[in-house]
Amino acid sequence: MDELAPTRDDTPARSSIDLLRAFIAIEIPPSLQEKLHREMESLRARLDRTFVRWVVPENIHLTLKFLGDTPITKLDALKEFLAAELARFQPFEISVGNMGVFPNFSRPRVIWLGVGDKGKLSSLQRHTERAASQIGSAPEKRRFSAHLTLGRVKQDIRSEARHQIRQVVEENSGLELGNIHVDTIHLFQSELKANGAVYRSLYQINLEKK
């Protein structure tokens, strides 16, 4: 009996070119970036970089929805869904300040700045989530907590380092850096490079004054 020929999968492999890593966010204005830069310089001077990996100030955004690897073919549809969902929103103000950590001082993983939310931002995020769901993006399991990530704490740090983080963060718990005028939402592409991530705005949705 003849031997069976080996089977071959003729399905073309998915190319990474067909996907891009994306997220939807609010951009930080240059004036606030300057304040963030000065504040982070002070933090770097007090917290050893061997146990905190700081975010480049120019890369700090207020993320509304992380999409992850997204088919390029779905981007046009996403733009339409976002425009429809956000059409009801007018520009509004949010405040930035109040430093803290996630999840707690016993196990600090993220050092952040809080964002003052009077309800409009949370509503904007829910409608952004709804638009993303229409292209098949999985809903976020965690409750939305508006913040700007300043640095990520390395694991297995010593108790002295945890104490140092707590002291610096608590000293800045009442920090006020100013306001952001929210009138534009961006879809960003995130490209991972050898020296860190590079973000590029693919398109924006403007919140129109009524």
pLDDT tens digits along 119-134: 899 999 999 999 999 9
| Structural domain containing residue 92 | 20-206
C-alpha span between 27 and 167 (Å, rounded): 30
- Does 13 reside within a domain? no
- Does 5 reside within a domain? no
Indicate which CATH number applies to the domain containing 41.
3.90.1140.10
- Does 4 reside within a domain? no
pLDDT at 194: 80
- Does 12 reside within a domain? no
pLDDT at 210: 66
Token pair recorded at residue 114? 């809080």
Three-state SS at 174:
coil
- Does 118 reside within a domain? yes
pLDDT at 17: 58
Q: Any idea of the CA torsion for 50, 157, 141, 169, to the nearest 10 degrees?
A: -70
pLDDT by position in tens, the chain (length 210)? 333 333 334 444 445 559 999 999 999 999 999 999 999 999 999 997 789 999 988 899 999 999 999 999 999 999 999 999 999 999 999 999 999 999 999 999 999 999 987 789 999 999 999 999 999 999 988 899 999 999 999 988 999 999 999 999 999 999 999 999 999 999 999 998 887 789 999 999 999 876
pLDDT at 4: 34
- Does 14 reside within a domain? no
pLDDT at 61: 95
Domain count, the chain: 1
Write the single-letter amino acid at 106: S
**Parallel, antiparallel, or unpaired: how do β-strands 92-102 and 147-153 relate?**
unpaired
- Residues with active-site annotation: 61, 147
pLDDT at 195: 78
- Does 202 reside within a domain? yes
- Does 6 reside within a domain? no
C-alpha span between 160 and 171 (Å, rounded): 17
Of the candidates 130, 28, 39, 59, the residue with the CA atom closest to the CA atom of residue 88:
130
pLDDT tens digits along 178-210: 999 999 999 999 998 887 789 999 999 999 876
pLDDT at 11: 41
